[in-house]
Amino acid sequence: MKRLIIVGFSALLLIGCSDEKTQYQEHVFNLMKNDQDLIDYSLDPDEVSRCIVDLTGKKMIGPFSWDPRRAPIYKAYTNMVKLKLNIGRFDTQYNNEVNPKDTLDRLKLEFGSTKALSDANRNFSKSVLTCFETLVQLRKINGVNSGKFYKY
């Protein structure tokens, strides 16, 4: 019976919040794929988005990236990235279906407070800058203009 419980618990931990993390990574990719800095430095948006997701995850609860307790946090981060995507759309076209103020108020509730939302946004922004800097430096050190350097 103990083995069955251990196997079941292990399976739950492995599955954890894979859907939420995958959705978060997809939205980060969508945010990054047209980023001018990525284009200028010939960085792979998939590589950068995986780096960002990994770095932001280091500031989340739980000892590993698939911890089930992270599911609501990944959902909140996904919604934060969606807001960033929608704000970009407001610059080029009016989108009356999405109200940024309402979305921001909902994000405050999802993160638990204005401070927690601010901390999450800081974590995300710092991760973006760190990934850009790291990947550009790796390219300079290796004398390569393209190729994958970020290890998983």
DSSP-derived 3-state class of residue 127:
helix
pLDDT-derived band of residue 85, with 50, 70 and 90 as boundaries?
confident
Predicted pLDDT of residue 3? 63
pLDDT-derived band of residue 98, with 50, 70 and 90 as boundaries?
low
Q: What is the mean pLDDT of residues 100-106?
A: 86
Residue 49's region, left for phi above 0, alpha for psi from -120 to 50, else beta, is: alpha
Higher pLDDT, 128 or 60: 128
% of residues, the chain, pLDDT over 70: 74
Which token pair is 80? Answer: 């934060």
Higher pLDDT, 100 or 144: 100
DSSP assignment string, 25-87: HHHHHHHHTT-HHHHHTT--HHHHHHHHHHHHHTTSSSSSTT-GGGHHHHHHHHHHHHHHHHH
| pTM for the predicted model, two decimal places | 0.78
Look-up: residue for tokens 């894979």? 18
Average pLDDT in the chain: 81
pLDDT tens digits for 39-77? Answer: 998 899 999 999 999 999 998 887 766 678 889 999 999
Q: Where are the domains of the chain?
A: 17-142
CB-CB neighbours of 52 under 10 Å: 26
Q: Report how far residue 81's alpha carbon sits from residue 87's, in angstroms, rounded to the nearest whole number.
A: 10
